[in-house]
Chains A and B, each alone.
Chain A
Amino acid sequence: MRLRGLIRKETFQIVRDPSSILIGFVLPVVLLLLFGYGVSLDAKHVPVALVIENPTAETSSFAASLAGSEYFAPQAVPHRPAAERALAEGRVQAIVVLSSNFTRQLPSADGAPIQLIVNGTDANTARIISGYVDGAWQNWLEHTALDAGRALAPPVIVEQRVWFNPEVSSRNFLVPGLMAIIMTLIGTLLTALVVAREWERGTLEALMVTPVRIGEFLLGKLIPYFVLGMGGMAASTVMAVWVFGVPFRGTFLVLLLVSSLFMLAALGMGLLISTVTKNQFAAGQVAIIVAFLPAFMLSGFLFDIASMPTVVWGITHIVPARYFVSSLQTLFLAGNIWSVVATDMAALAMMAVFFLGLTRRKTRKSLE
């Protein structure tokens, strides 16, 4: 009966408090739309300056093949200095130069050289562009050879196949990871704020001098936010699969299991933060620094964990979101790969037990 009373109270509060609605519903939807539609790690329609020093049939054939690709938006530039200016001013991301002897050297054994200059400010994009130009060049060579009826004979032919995300769309990779961020928001940030608020407003002091037990109080907080978080998870899954068309290759039961474990770990962290800080402002700051930002940057959601420096790589192991992101990406894109999912689940379960246990120890029916 006491537990029921607490849960009902918490539910009323969630429904009536604009900040819960904001963090619990509005923020996840905004994030999903932003990452689903807006942010993309793919390079498409990259503006490229194309310098053709000696126009011939071959050069215009290559130019046409570049223009036909969805990755490039080539602009013809009369000479090199103009192209360099355009690059410096950021109007183009790369310069492709077909030198005056292009057509002459093309049939020769060494082949014709093309020069590529890429804006390396954003190293990632630079690498992608360089790869694309390479690909486009190889492609064109093969086509030209075929048209000419002679086989191109490079020493090795790379036959590429992309697994799990064949269209190489970053959305398929970002949206599942984003769900971990949303759950962290609800589980840790929101929970940390609401418990700290009870300390701040003095509601807890009156509550403590009733027959209520600490376990009941904690469960009274855990259950409503668990339900809220899982609701957010379900909504995100629906949006991911049916709105953004992200493939889902695992099973929903496994997804439910992993999410529940992560949710418990996140809630445990939130409760612990608020129990220690007892102040909404501090709780919010701490939650953002220890939970939200690591979930964003160290979980593998945006940045590849394997390529991080060793120290940072080591730190990622204590970020719960890391295991969740890995499981989510596996479940959505690859399927039930047990060796991955089971390891992640074990790590999450350990963290949930650790945080909830510590919270239980730290929360006392006392003001000391």
Chain B
Amino acid sequence: MINPVIDIGEVVKRFESGGRTVTAIDRMSLRVEAGRITGLVGPDAAGKTTLMRLITGLLKPDAGTVRVLGFDSRRQAQDIQAAVGYMPQRFGLYEDLTVAENLDLYADLQGLSRAERKDRFAQLMDFTGLGPFRGRQAGRLSGGMKQKLGLACTLVGRPRLLLLDEPSVGVDPVSRRELWAIVHALVEEGVSVLWSTAYLDEAERCDDVLLVSEGKLLDAGPPAKFSDRLQSRTFAFAVGNTDTRTVLDGVRRFPQIIDAVIKGADVRLLLDRPADAARLGDLARALDLKEDALRPVAAGFEDAFIALLKERETTSAVPDAAPRYGGKPDSIPLPAVANGAPVIRVEGLVRQFGTFKAVDGIDFQVAQGEIFGLLGPNGAGKSTTFKMLCGLLPPTDGKALVLEIDLRRAAAKARGRIGYMAQKFSLYGNMTVSQNFRFFASIYGLAGKVRERAIEHEMEEFGLGPFADVNAADLPLGYKQRLALACAIMHQPGVLFLDEPTSGVDPLVRREFWHRINTMAVAGVTIMVTTHFMEEAEYCNRIGVIYRGRLIASGSPDRLKADHRGSERPDPTLEDVFVDLIESYDREHAL
């Protein structure tokens, strides 16, 4: 086999958009070795998809050369396309065709003979576990199964090189593991794989990693090479009885610490230089922590990623504008519930669509100042539960109360005490930042001086001042995220609902976002969030796992991990817990 399978030299790719020229790929050179899984890792808009399309010959480079399996992408695109398997981000399954018909189409397109087809299909069905669903239309498969079918379709022609563009986006952890298993088996057979991803834990599973940002290759090599550089720069504070968020807040003020996150009951730190470790003792004392609370931990790929991106100060990440909620803590309108009473109370909640129970008897409570995360595979009932809480959907049975009020019947005044940030960017793209603010302020009934003060405050708080007259659609992604949150909280709600607030946002923006959420929780705001990022689940006080319309587990991340500690897995990750929970539920409820 030709090695390297992909050889890219000094490639430049520009796009015209709205009269401006955007350089998507900026003099990039890289090689992908044969017979390995190479991860293409980078924040959103780093140029990953453009690079994939350049490799397939769907785009032609403006300068430089792209050689794939020895073919030149400018002159021999047809040869490349006959030899590679490409799975775009939204794989084009024909939704009204069945599993078998989709496979047949790709077999026809790849020129597979009748005889070959039978064996290959049997093998692929076996591989993907789609055998029982051959006759089902692709549109009726779950997200994970669709992705596996997409993979099967690209594999029909036995490609030598497999290009996967973010194959695990929107796929639950169980299906994600199955995808990895399939790809590992392919590599055993000698297939080379380029896997693009925004999940940093996936990068760690690759043999090689290409780290890209803003159209440039930042670094390349095995994942260990990245984390090795950070030796003696990663530590963790075992927080003990102190509140993790208070510690996090203190740690963030320490200039030598370039990154800090909550990991269960620990606060994890990344130092600028190993020498700074000497000063951590002072920090522990300043935060009223015992000195033995500090321990060194192994660096991971994520640390390396953050370190590299922070060094470069990418534009999507925004300088920390020390967020404060409402200026001073006492300005927060605390919910009118008796002390200790739950702010959110869900009892025996049921929602039926026809004969299908989307939510099937869910109970939970959220206390004031808590961050409660709802986790679950796509279609498990997360969003339905959420909509019932926000009063957007009437429950079939049971109660969903916020501040002891049923929001569906509540007056506008009660709704004025909650904030809601929808899954999709729900601002008006063709209105400027200040117009968006004005609109949302009027919706929440703010007027006159109160409104002007609130807008001024949010502008300053979120560092949006320089963008006041920019259309929301033209904002950098990180700022869009800020604007969406700012609009959701400008009326200073006591309860905040966030529906997958960080999907499609890169890790740096995600961190900044969570920093703000934490600050609000410390100030006493109750926050409920849905997410499919396991690392985000770690930031919550408590999480509830929803599956098939039921709450199959709930508790603090550490409690759940402790419950699933086993002899073969002494230190399970939240993803392990999640997969465990779902698999054992399926076993118990097997038909």
Contacts and interface: CB of A to CB of B under 8 A. Distances in A.
A163 interface: no
A23 B63 CA distance: 46
Interface in A342-368: 365-368
A201 B101 contact: no
B108 A1 contact: yes
A211 B105 contact: no
Interface stretch (B85-93, B266-274, B380-388, B513-521): B85-93
A16 interface: yes
Interface string B83-123: 01011111111111100010011111111000000000000
Interface in B149-179: 150, 153-154, 157
A209 B86 contact: yes
A9 B88 CA distance: 20
A1 B97 contact: no
B365 interface: no
A116 interface: no
A366 B77 CA distance: 10
A80 B106 CA distance: 80
B481 interface: no
Contacts, number: 96
Most A CB within 10 A of own CB, among B91, B97, B108? B108
Contacts of B90: 201-202
B110 A198 contact: no
Given A202-B88, A207-B92, A209-B84, A367 B111 contact: no
Contact of A9 (B60, B77, B91, B101): B101
Contacts of A368: 59-60
Interface in A177-235: 198, 201-213
A207 B84 contact: no
Q: Which size bracket describes the interface of A in this complex?
A: 20 to 34
B77 A13 contact: no
B78 interface: yes
A367 B53 contact: yes
B131 to A, nearest CB: 21
Contacts of A207: 92, 109
Q: Chain B's interface: helix, strand, loop or mixed, by majority?
A: mixed
Nearest to A1: B108
A91 interface: no
Given A210-B81, A366-B59, A2 B92 contact: no
Given A6-B105, A210-B81, A205 B111 contact: no
B56 interface: yes
Interface string A1-15: 110111011001100
Interface in A6-45: 6, 8-9, 12-13, 16-17
Most B CB within 10 A of own CB, among A16, A210, A212? A210
Most B CB within 10 A of own CB, among A1, A209, A366, A367? A209
A210 B91 contact: no
Contacts of A202: 88-92
Contacts of A4: 108
Given A5-B108, A6-B108, A9-B105, A211 B81 contact: yes
B58 interface: yes
Contacts of B106: 210
Given A198-B92, A201-B92, A13 B97 contact: yes
Nearest to A198: B92
Most B CB within 10 A of own CB, among A4, A5, A201? A5
Contact of A205 (B88, B104, B105): B88
A210 B78 CA distance: 8
A206 B153 contact: yes
Contacts of A204: 92
B81 A17 contact: no
B84 A13 contact: no
Nearest to A202: B90
Contacts of A367: 53, 58-59
B111 A2 contact: yes
Contact of A203 (B58, B77, B92, B108): B92
Contact of B60 (A13, A206, A366): A366
B447 to A, nearest CB: 37
Given A8-B101, A17-B96, A211-B111, 16 more contacts: A1-B111, A6-B109, A8-B108, A9-B105, A13-B96, A13-B97, A16-B137, A201-B95, A202-B89, A207-B92, A209-B58, A209-B86, A210-B106, A210-B109, A366-B57, A366-B59
Interface of B: 53, 56-60, 77-78, 81-82, 84, 86-97, 101, 104-111, 137, 150, 153-154, 157
29 contacts: A2-B109, A5-B105, A5-B107, A5-B109, A6-B105, A8-B105, A9-B97, A9-B105, A16-B137, A201-B92, A203-B92, A203-B94, A205-B88, A206-B88, A206-B150, A208-B58, A209-B57, A209-B58, A209-B81, A209-B84, A210-B81, A210-B82, A210-B109, A210-B110, A211-B81, A211-B82, A365-B81, A366-B60, A367-B53
Interface of A: 1-2, 4-6, 8-9, 12-13, 16-17, 198, 201-213, 365-368
